[in-house]
Amino acid sequence: MKRAYRYRFCPTDVQAAELSRTFGCARKVYNLALAARTEAWARQERVSYHQTSAMLTAWKKTGEPAYLNEVSSVPLQQTLRHLQTAFTHFFRRRARYPRFKSRKTSRRSAEYTSSAFRFRDGKLTLAKMTEPLDIVWSRPLPEGASPSTVTVSQDAAGRWFVSLLCEDPGVKPLPARGNAVGVDVGLDHLLTLSTGEKIANPRHERRDRAALAKAQRNLARKARGDGANRRKARLKVAKIHARIADRRRDTLHKLTTRLVRENQTVVIEDLAVRNMVKNRKLARAISDAAWGEFRSMLEYKARWYGREVIVVDRWFPSSKLFSHCGTLKEKMPLSVRTWTCDCGVTHDRDVNAAHSLLAAGLAVAVCGAGVRPQRSTPDGQSATKQKPSRREP
């Protein structure tokens, strides 16, 4: 199993200048190739990766982009491959049409394959550089690991990172367990488990909200442009955002790792987070909870360690369906947190939802049943409403 190990490093002035130049050239090549493919698309023609590679050779020889010869050719070729992947996703209706990269807002990164770097005795030297990178080895690489790909990036806060992709023999299925757990995400409590455990929501953004607001007001007062004062103010805002994101990511890593290690099956709900954040009153809290990132981490760790993640349909009424007796309530306002069912059982809203999700997920895993309550059709037969599938071209 291949795994990426990410580290911070401190470049010298020469290395920083070389990497910044490489980032700019990679962005330029991406935009030139995208423009060429867009023009061909307007003529109802398709341009392949090999054709854009030939264009890159021509750009290096003549015209304004001749400065592309000053940086390593490998990151530029990798940029064309990334563009090809973006178009593949677009043609298969998995993503939108690729967009041009901006100098100010796009991610600054460059990818090097094995022919463009040297890794010996724990020292990494990139092409066009004479000195190895000063990497902060916060954790060791797997014994005998040899990176196949190296990605160098710089975030908005000015921090430099290097990601090494290598084989990790430690990533293998864990011993099988017989237990399963339902997980209900929320705002008052970040997670509620079907075991009855509730995990508090750290609300990382709220802890730095005052400092962030002050830094953003300071940035808003600066004249627009590339002035030094505006760059300093923007950097201060970016550092606060980075601190919040780091804490949030650390919390989610710990929670998802624990869930995967302790349970064979994890059942979660498919939430339309993109639609939910349109609610102005809850958008900030939902974004801070990072439900989408939680699901992403849970799914790839489950693949790593041989666990199963079952996603229940977003329209499944987990809160309205009483887990003890199966009664389906027509209405369940958010203000109702606990209630006593007609069968005499007192329910907690979040725990009940986790129990309902677990039962629905296990039903899908065992017999492939639907996760929605059966609805009666005009002829008196029960039927489960299904969404139409999206066909690929």
Query: The domain containing residue 100 runs over which residues?
Result: 2-167
3-state helix, strand, coil in the chain (%, to 5): 45, 20, 40
Residue 58 placed within a domain? yes
3 state DSSP class of 43: coil
Distance, C-alpha 9 to centroid of its chain: 23
Number of folded domains that form the chain: 1
The one catalytic residue in 18, 111, 205, 350 is 350
What is the pLDDT at residue 318? 72
String of DSSP letters for 234-294: HHHHHHHHHHHHHHHHHHHHHHHHHHHHH-SEEEEE---HHHHTT-TTTHHHHHHHTHHHH
- What confidence tens digit (pLDDT) does each residue in 313-360 have? 887 777 667 666 656 666 766 666 676 666 666 667 788 888 888 888
User: Mean per-residue pLDDT for 29-54?
Assistant: 93
Residue 70 among the catalytic residues? no
- 118 in a structural domain: yes
For residue 351, tell me if it sits in a domain: no
pTM of the complete model: 0.82
The label of the residue with tokens 């606060």 reads 240
What band does 374 get if pLDDT is binned at 50, 70 and 90? Answer: very low
Of residues 111, 205, 269, 288, which has the active-site annotation?
269
pLDDT value, residue 178? 86
Whether the CA torsion 15, 20, 25, 27 is positive or negative: it is: positive
Per-residue pLDDT tens digits for 240-254? 999 999 999 999 999
Identify the sign of the CA torsion 49, 50, 55, 58. Answer: positive
273 within domain boundaries: no
Residue 304, domain member (yes or no): no
Q: Would 306 be classed as within a structural domain?
A: no
Query: Is 85 among the domain residues?
Result: yes
**Gap between the Cα atoms of 133 and 124, Å rounded:** 6
H helix runs in 116-173, sequence order: none
**Residue 161 in domain:** yes
Q: Which of 184, 188, 197, 208 is catalytic?
A: 184
> Among this protein's residues, is 269 annotated catalytic?
yes
Identify whether 250 is a catalytic site residue: no
